[in-house]
Amino acid sequence: MNSFPISVVVPTKDRPDALDRCLSTLGPELGADDELVVVDSASSDPRVREVAEKRGASYLRMDVRGAARARNAGWRAARHDVIAFVDDDVVVGAGWADALRSAFRRHPDIGLLTGRVEAGNLDGGYPASVEPWTDEKPFERWEGRRRGISGNAACTRPVLERVGGFDEALGPGSSFRSGEDKDIFDRIIAAGVEGLYDPSVLAYHDQWRSRTERLGLEWDYGIAAGAYFAKVPRIDRRRTKVVASDLIWRWCIKDLATCIRKRYKTGTLCAIIRSAGLFVGFVRGMALPIRNGHYRRRPGRL
């Protein structure tokens, strides 16, 4: 019997082939006492359920779309107190589950763990949603954006309950389109919980988008980053300056200058679109009220 059982939640929408690849790598990692939960975010393709059941996962159907909403439903329905989140376009590396368990055993006080994410299937170009850092790093209260993405992360149930889970106004399927991961990481650390980035918890993010889709993704990332940044002064005011430096200087201005210097046209366009989205997302976010760390909708908004 596994003395450290985990639940793995995989949100998905209308991507049965990607889901099948994801689950095919998770299956060998999990023991008999572990749990695999697929949360269907209002898919129209019936193959999503077929894939989940074929791979031995529990299947949970949501009638309203949203990745953050799906993750919240997944962790609330999960049996175990350590809950990992893996996206359907992510495949985990060999030893992923053992590395995750080892991190929680070596650092019993952590409530948040994020892992390394490398680009999968990248044929040149500009990778999306990767966290390639190779050094282990505890999260610090006053640092900028935290390392890691929600596509390869784990939390304990008490921590998720404490912060109210993911903000459902953020993330794919919402008006703010992304950013739910950096937001929940911030709220967890602001609540006084210890967190850790561990590169041995390794996964690969499939780079499946075309060039045109990638430009749209950069707009989404900018919108989400702006909405995320609009929360910072209201949730953890002392981090405002360092997060502004991280987002505006490093992520926008510095990256744009580097791409221009290297005459990298796609990267230059991505940085411009991302910067414009950041401004729009920030303005929209500042116009919305926050309650218990979550955006609250006003009539006619979002």
Structural domain spans, the chain:
7-210, 213-295
* Regions in the chain scoring below 50 on pLDDT: 1, 299-302
Q: Which two tokens mark 109?
A: 């006080």
What are the DSSP E strand ranges found in the chain?
Answer: 7-12, 35-41, 58-62, 82-86, 90-92, 110-120, 137-138, 152-156, 194-206, 290-291, 294-295
Summarised one tens digit per residue, pLDDT across range 183-207 is 999 999 999 999 999 999 999 998 8
Give pLDDT, residue 135.
97
Summarised one tens digit per residue, pLDDT across range 150-174 is 999 999 999 999 999 999 999 999 9
Cα gap 107→126, rounded to integer Å: 34
Kindly state which CATH superfamily the domain 7-210 is placed in. Spore Coat Polysaccharide Biosynthesis Protein SpsA; Chain A (3.90.550.10)
